Amino acid sequence: MVSSPHEASHRIFQERPELLTPVFSLLGVPLPEQASIEVLSADATEIRPLERRVDSVLRITSCSGPTFLLAIEAQGGKKPEKASSWAYYLAYLNAKYGCPALLLVVCQDSATSKWAGEPFRMGIEGWTAQTTHPLVLGPDNVPTITDSDEAAQDLALATFAAMTHGKAADPTPILEALAIALGSADSESAEYYSELLEIGLGDSPARATWRKMMSVVTYFPGRGTYRETAYLEGKAEGKAEGKAEGKAVGEAVGKAESVLRILDLRQVPLTDDDRARVTACTDLAVLNQWVDLSVTVTDVADLWAVEAASEE
C-alpha cells in the first residue's frame, strides 16, 4: 500500500508544476523557458500479468528547447529491484511517447538519496548494456528554508523543503518559517500546503509539531507582539502552562488579525488607535463577535459597543 508521505512527495509536482523551475536549478539541469507541463498517465503496464506503474509522469514542452518526459519516483528506502524497474520505465516512456525521458527520485533521508544517485548498470562483468542515471532530490541538496519571507516567495518550494527535511533532528525552524509564511498567504494556498505537508510528514514527530503549530502560528504575522513572544517562549520551555497560555494567546491574535483584515478589505476607516485596540483585546468572546460584525459594519464604533456590553 502506498504511504501518505510517498504520495505527497511526488503529487506536489503534478499539482504545483511551477516547483520544477527551482528544483531543476538545484539539480543543475537547465529547464527551457516558458515551458508548458502536462501530466501524463503513470501506467507503464503492457499486455501481460506484471503491473508497472510510475509515481508521476510529466511531459515538458517548450518552443525554446526539446520536449522531454520527467518520471518522478518517491523513494523511502533502498530497493535493489528498482534498478531494473527504473530502466524499464525510461525505455518504455521513450518508446511510447517518442521523446527523451528523465528520472527524478525524491528521498527524505540522506542514505537513500546517496544510493538513488548511483548510476545503475545492467549487463555482465566487463560489459555494460545499459546505465540509468537518476536525478535525485533529498536532504543533501534541497535547501533548508528557515526565513519566513523567503518561504513566502515560493510556497511550493518551501513546502517541499519542509517535507524533505521532516526527519531532521530539529525541523522546528523550517516548520515555523513556513507556518508564518502561510499566515499571510491566500486561504486556498494556505489550506493546500498545510494539508499537503501534514500528509507528507507521515507519522513522524514533525507531523505532531506541525499540527500543533498550525493551530496557532499560522495566524502570526511575524510582528514580534508580546502575545507571539509569550507563545513561542512557552513552547520552547516545554511547560504545559506556557503551551496552554500560548495557544489561547495565539488564537486571540489570529482572530484580531482576521477582524483587521476584513475591515481593511471592506475599506472601513481605521485609525492607529483603532488597530491597537483590536490587537490588544484578549477576550475570545468579544473577538468572535467582532469577527462576525466586521463583515457588515460601516463604522468601527459598532465594535466598541460590543466590548462595552461585555464589561457590564
Q: What is the pLDDT along the chain (312 residues), one digit of tens a residue?
A: 345 677 788 878 888 888 888 888 888 887 776 677 777 765 655 544 445 677 888 999 977 778 999 999 999 889 988 888 999 999 999 998 999 999 999 999 999 999 999 999 988 888 888 899 999 999 999 999 999 999 999 999 999 999 999 988 899 999 989 988 888 888 888 888 988 898 888 888 898 888 877 765 434 444 444 444 545 565 556 545 545 555 666 778 878 888 888 888 788 888 888 888 888 888 888 888 888 888 888 888 888 887 666 655
How many Å is the maximal CA-CA distance in the chain? 91
Q: Where are the domains of the chain?
A: 4-137, 143-207
Question: Cα 272–227–312 angle (5° rounding)?
Answer: 70
Among positive and negative, which fits the CA dihedral 157, 160, 207, 238? negative
The pTM of the full predicted model, rounded to 2 decimals, is 0.61
Strands 101-107 and 65-75: parallel
Which three three-digit cell numbers place residue 76? 523511502
C-alpha cell at 16: 504545483
- Rounded distance between C-alpha atoms, residue 40 and residue 134, angstroms: 19
